[in-house]
């Protein structure tokens, strides 16, 4: 009986030892599996962290490059408008300040990237707004310059037409004045004696009479006016007496032999002007008639 009992105790101990060893193996296997899983998770985390850091670096570099390009665009804007130029200067300062922040930033994250991208987007929108505004002002300025040039050209044409119109008007007035000049025809010179009778010999004459007709002119002004006669004798001297004098002709005062006032009414008007003197001799006589400042007729008469 004792031997049998001892045998049973030893068998139980062996069975118990075998069970414990099996349990240890299971625990060790589980721990190995856990370590493998943790290693894989750690590796993936390291890879993800490394990839995230590289992505942030790329995002940061792109952000800085875009901001640098935006600064160049701000610096290249040119405008003559003082208000816009001052506003652009303010926005350029904002872009410079943002660049300083980017360069000093150390704790990069996706949230900060989004924040900086938002500020950069705002600056880009502002820049585009200024570009459109400046372009509109330039187009307006170009249009105004074109309109101003056109106005100057039109004004020049108007002045030219006005000058031509004035010149034409002056020519027309000159033609009217010329047309209004009263002329004389049938100018004749007669030698008279003391009784105002016509004589054939000049040496018997004591007076001269100039006969002529003032031509009808419906354009000429009617009314009284003076007619002057200049009689140049054979000695080329203007005949003169106590009744002779001076009158105005083309800005100068010249002498006349005799004159007479007439009432002209636009119709043919016969006129006779007398001159008395002692220097009447035979020869060639030149007669000139003047009225209203114009030479209205001439003739040459030979007295025997």
| Terminal-residue alpha carbon distance, the chain | 215
Q: What is the pLDDT of residue 303?
A: 92
Return the pLDDT at 51. 40
Helix, strand, or coil here: 127? helix
Q: Residue 34: what pLDDT?
A: 73
Task: Look at residues 61, 66, 143, 48 and name the one whose alpha carbon lies nearest to residue 103.
Answer: 61
**In 180-221, alpha helices (H):** none
209 with 276: CB under 8 angstroms? no
Q: Could you tell me if 294 and 217 are in contact, meaning their C-beta atoms sit under 8 angstroms apart?
A: no
Instruction: Sort 119 into a burial class: Cβ within 10 Å, 0-12 / 13-18 / 19+.
Output: middle
Per-residue pLDDT at 37: 63
Could you count the other beta carbons within 10 Å of the beta carbon of residue 227? 25
CA distances from 24 to 12, 18, 29, 234, 271 (A): 19, 10, 8, 172, 167
Q: Which residues of the chain register pLDDT less than 50?
A: 1-7, 43, 46-51
pLDDT at 145: 87
The two structure tokens encoding residue 65: 């490059």
Say what the pLDDT of residue 17 is: 58
Q: What's the chain's average pLDDT?
A: 84
Q: What is the pTM of this model?
A: 0.49
What pLDDT is stored for residue 225 in this prediction? 94
Beta strands per DSSP E along the chain = 184-192, 207-214, 223-232, 245-249, 252-256, 258-264, 269-276, 283-291, 294-303
Are residues 296 and 253 in contact, defined by beta-carbon separation less than 8 angstroms? Answer: no
- Inter-residue contact 233 to 245 (CB < 8 Å): no
The candidate with the shortest Cα–Cα distance to 287, out of 198, 227, 223, is: 227
pLDDT at position 40 is: 54
């Amino acid at each position: 009986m004792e031997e049998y009992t001892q045998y049973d105790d030893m068998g139980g101990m062996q069975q118990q030892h075998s069970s414990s060893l099996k349990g240890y193996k299971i625990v060790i296997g589980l721990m190995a599996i856990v370590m493998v899983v943790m290693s894989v998770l750690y590796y993936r985390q390291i890879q993800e962290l490394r990839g995230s850091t590289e992505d942030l670096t790329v995002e940061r570099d792109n952000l800085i490059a875009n901001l640098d390009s935006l600064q160049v665009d701000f610096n290249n804007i040119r405008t003559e408008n003082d208000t816009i130029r001052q506003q652009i200067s303010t926005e350029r300062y904002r872009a410079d300040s943002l660049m300083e922040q980017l360069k000093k930033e150390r704790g990069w994250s996706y949230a900060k990237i989004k924040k900086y991208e938002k500020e950069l987007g705002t600056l880009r929108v502002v820049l585009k707004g200024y570009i459109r505004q400046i372009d509109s002002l330039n187009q307006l300025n170009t249009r105004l310059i074109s309109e101003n040039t056109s106005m100057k050209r039109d004004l020049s044409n108007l002045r030219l037409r006005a000058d031509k119109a004035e010149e034409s008007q002056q020519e027309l007035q000159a033609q009217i004045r010329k047309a209004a000049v009263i002329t004389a025809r049938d100018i004749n010179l007669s030698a008279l004696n003391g009784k105002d009778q016509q004589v054939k010999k000049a040496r018997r004459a004591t007076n001269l009479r100039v006969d002529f007709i003032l031509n009808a002119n419906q354009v000429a002004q009617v009314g009284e006016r003076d007619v002057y006669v200049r009689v140049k004798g054979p000695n080329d001297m203007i005949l003169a007496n106590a009744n002779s004098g001076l009158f105005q002709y083309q800005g100068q005062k010249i002498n006349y032999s005799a004159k007479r006032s007439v009432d002209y009414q636009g119709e043919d008007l016969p006129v006779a002007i007398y001159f008395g003197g002692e220097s009447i001799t035979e020869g060639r006589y030149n007669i000139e008639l003047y009225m209203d400042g114009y030479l209205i007729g001439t003739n040459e008469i030979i007295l025997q």
